Amino acid sequence: MTLEERKIIMIESSIFIKSIFFLSNLILNISQGSELLEQIINIAILCFSILLFILSINAYLKTKLKIILYASTAFILFTIQLVFEILGDTFSNIETPINEIIVSSITLAILILFFLAVVRKNR
pLDDT at 15: 76
- Calpha distance 70→35 (Å, rounded): 33
- Calpha distance 111→16 (Å, rounded): 24
Instruction: Please state the pTM of the whole predicted model.
Output: 0.66
Q: pLDDT tens digits for the chain (123 residues)?
A: 677 777 777 777 777 777 766 666 665 555 455 677 777 888 888 888 888 999 999 998 998 888 888 889 999 998 888 888 877 777 766 667 787 888 889 999 999 998 988 887 765
- Sorted by sequence, the CB contacts under 8 Å of residue 76 that are 6+ apart come out as 49, 53
pLDDT at 74: 92
Q: Is 95 exposed, middle or buried (0-12, 13-18, 19+ CB in 10 A)?
A: middle
Q: Collapsing DSSP states into helix, strand and coil, what is residue 67? A: helix
